[in-house]
Amino acid sequence: MNIILLGSPGAGKGTQATALEEATGMKHIASGDMFRTAVKEGTPLGKLAQSYLDNGELVPDDVVIGMVLERVTQPDCANGVIFDGFPRTPEQARALQEALQNHDDCISAVLLLHVPKEALIQRVIGRWTCRNCQAVYNTYYLAPHEAGICDECGGDLYQRSDDNLETINHRLEVYTAQTMPLVAHYQQQGILHEIDGQGDVNEVTARMVQAMTLANPC
Ligand code: AMP
């Protein structure tokens, strides 16, 4: 089974994908995380991607498609993949579908997380992540006990360079223009499931697990 998580920046895709990975044994693949790692390591891919990330623009389709499709051929993806942040354009969706079909595989379900805009902005501009264990905090409603330090492991907390008010507004526009068309695309295929992304994290996970019981077998 392969699942796509759709939703605007700050909708909770990363948090939910991590929870679903634990609940299902499927592999969580986050294109944004792959780019951030490449930027941190200073690889050629990271150098190419950095300005797109900093400006809230999408990295060109051919680069993203090549990176993600190469990643899913690795053995840890054999039990199915939870795609987080990919596909984000119709071209990426086409490429993914074609690659899966070539392996007699498919997308079983697309889970669309809904969160109102005011909440999205608060989630994004207040977000701090642990460099060591990736735990996520929020200065508005889930602050760490000591500012800048992870409660779980004592690691340093950092803010993503694109999690600021100016960039989030642009990322939301990019989402509306380039990624929203995928909603109709997957709706037509009958595999779209809309999920209320607000409320307790565990409750949202439970809604997603419930939607997955309706997923199409490949
Ligand atoms: P995310 O962590 O999913 O919010 O992604 C952070 C940034 O990485 C985006 O604003 C883009 O610059 C880049 N990115 C991640 N996934 C994609 C994708 N599927 N297509 C193009 N750019 C992407």
Backbone φ and ψ of 139, nearest 5°: -65, -20
Please say if 36 is a catalytic residue.
Answer: no
Residue 108: closest CA among 52, 44, 189, 21: 189
Work out whether strand 109-114 and strand 3-6 pair parallel, antiparallel, or are unpaired. Answer: parallel
Instruction: Report pLDDT digits (tens) over 46-101.
Output: 999 999 999 999 999 999 999 999 999 999 999 999 999 999 999 999 999 999 99
Q: What single string gives the DSSP state of each residue in 175-200?
A: IIIIITHHHHHHHHTT-EEEEE--S-
Instruction: Report pLDDT digits (tens) over 148-207.
Output: 999 999 999 999 989 999 899 999 999 999 999 999 999 999 999 999 999 999 999 999
Asked if residue 8 has its Cβ within 6 Å of ligand 1, the reply is: no
Atom from ligand 1 closest to the CA of residue 92: 19
Q: Examine the pLDDT at 216 and tell me if it is beyond 90.
A: no
Atom from ligand 1 closest to the CA of residue 60: 21
Please choose from 4, 31, 84, 134 the residue to mutate so as to test ligand 1's pocket, defined by most ligand atoms within 8 A of CB. 31
Asked if residue 7 has its Cβ within 6 Å of ligand 1, the reply is: no
Q: Examine the pLDDT at 218 and tell me if it is beyond 90.
A: no
CA distances from 79 to 67, 93, 156 (A): 19, 21, 33
